[in-house]
Amino acid sequence: MYYNAHSMDYKQEELEAMVQQQSYDVVTITETRCSWSTALNGYKLFRKDRKGRRDGVGALYIKKDFDTISIETNEDGVECLWVRIKGKANKADILLGVCYHPPNQEEEVDNLFYKQLENVSGSSALVLVGDFNLPDIC
């Protein structure tokens, strides 16, 4: 499930109830706020906050049944959260990325994002979600 939380703090309880009812394996949220740090029963929470700001890049809720590894990156300005879900029974790992691309982001940061994507993806299957703020792309 993908959800953009911009200005939606008042609906957090509704979202949490829906997640629990539907029993999603993975829930991705972009444009989180400080209050989006609630642990959900049966899920591991991963989140990435923006430096020096009260809003966040994103959050991931992944069922505790999955073996997960958070991937740290060092590129300044690239607003992505990366988690690798380990494959079971000889199945390939899945790399899950949640990204926020601010409007009017500079091309230099875009290039850093492409480099980061290349570095973290390797040979894994990739699921990339987020708010890319690219209105010219249909």
For 108-137, the pLDDT digits (tens) are 999 999 999 988 887 678 999 998 888 777
What domains appear along the chain, each with residue ranges and CATH number? Answer: 2-131 (3.60.10.10)
Give how far Cα 51 sits from Cα of 55, 57, 77, 83, Å: 9, 10, 9, 19
What is the per-residue pLDDT for 97?
92
CB neighbourhood size of 22 (10 A): 9
Residue ranges for the chain with pLDDT beneath 70: 7-10, 33-37, 51-56, 123, 138
Tracing tokens 């994103």 back to the chain, one arrives at: 58
Three-state DSSP class for residue 72 = coil
- Predicted TM-score (pTM) of the model is 0.83
